Structure 1
């Protein structure tokens, strides 16, 4: 979630069949949502939300380890159509549980309060800061409109348009040369 900007329902809806560890990518094909009848695996939020994302080597390593652990669990047989993220009982992790657990982890860390959804915006902001084009960030987030991406990311999107295209943090884009640094806001 933190690096790829997934929605919590998309994370909860991931199944092993949606991940290709050899190719290092995952496909958002569903989301897990609460309905009046309980949890349901549904289509993504929009057509643009159905997307394939690259995975970094560390995430692939952790997913392989997680898959091996799930395959060793007693009880139900492992299946590629089963959820990647489950409770000890094998039941899918509910999107609300992800929010609840994240709040507890943030509180225990002593860090300032941050919402789980803020990780999605943080991933997009980091991508923009590294020189990724706004259109690519739109696709990564699964936004149907580039206008929505621009409006949601506000200043981060505007700043990215002023950065050098090489994606490197050179003299113009490096630390200590940001407007907030020059103004002495000192935020960490």
Structure 2
């Protein structure tokens, strides 16, 4: 969904309304020197936001909460109920380093190219931008106050993203090269 790793690690169940499908971003868990966890409010005032959950993550979060309940039951007294979403099987919250390592293991297991989590954030925001999400909504989704900065920083247009522009030129020219083999 294009969240910052510290926002993912800081996400608590009390900030997610699974009935309405809304995720509130109010808390982060980041690392200092890749050693010490620092928990704090959102990075900026614009970073404190409520996001409607897309259907797939909404359903996945419902299933994940049920899985955590089963893990809590199985672990008994060994489980620590911290209230965080991203936890290990004993309920302890992951930090951004552990999240990154987990994501890399998952990428390898699935045969995916390994990308930095921040690059995945950029890809998500680029996807929204090239699919017509208005700049002001894109900035709000990213937790940024400035739409121009958001597009400059996060949106990276690739050739495949420009197919709509090529199609517009085809329409302008009457559907593309003539059947007779005429060159453009």
Q: Which runs of 4+ in 1 moved over 4 A?
A: none
List gaps (5 residues or longer) in structure 2. 171-184
Higher helix share: 2
TM-score (norm 1): 0.73
Aligned residues: 161
1:34 aligns with 2:61: no
Distance 2:99 2:169 in 1: 35
Instruction: Call closer, same or farther: CA 1:105–1:135 in 2, change over 3 Å.
Output: same
**Counterpart in the other structure of 1:53:** 51
What is the root-mean-square deviation in Å for CA atoms of aligned residues?
Answer: 3.0
SS at match of 1:156: coil
**Counterpart in the other structure of 2:20:** 23
Q: How does 1:13-162 map to 2 (within 5 A)?
A: 13-35=10-32, 38-72=36-70, 73=72, 74-75=76-77, 76=79, 78=81, 82-156=83-157
List gaps (5 residues or longer) in structure 1. 165-169, 175-188
Q: CA shift at 1:128, angstroms?
A: 1.1
Distance 1:33 1:40 in 2: 5
Q: Deviations over 1:27-83 (max 9, x none)?
A: 0001002248932321111111111111122222221121122223123475xx610
Distance 2:25 2:32 in 1: 20
Q: Deviations over 1:129-173 (max 9, x none)?
A: 11111111111011232232121135539xx9xx79xxxxx9439
Indicate the structure (1 or 2) with the bigger Cα radius of gyration: 2
Distance 1:155 1:71 in 2: 40
Preserved contact between residue 126 and residue 156 of structure 2 (Cα < 8 Å): no
Instruction: Specify which of 6, 15, 21 is matched with residue 9 of structure 1.
Output: 6
SS at match of 2:138: helix
Instruction: Call closer, same or farther: CA 1:108–1:38 in 2, change over 3 Å.
Output: same
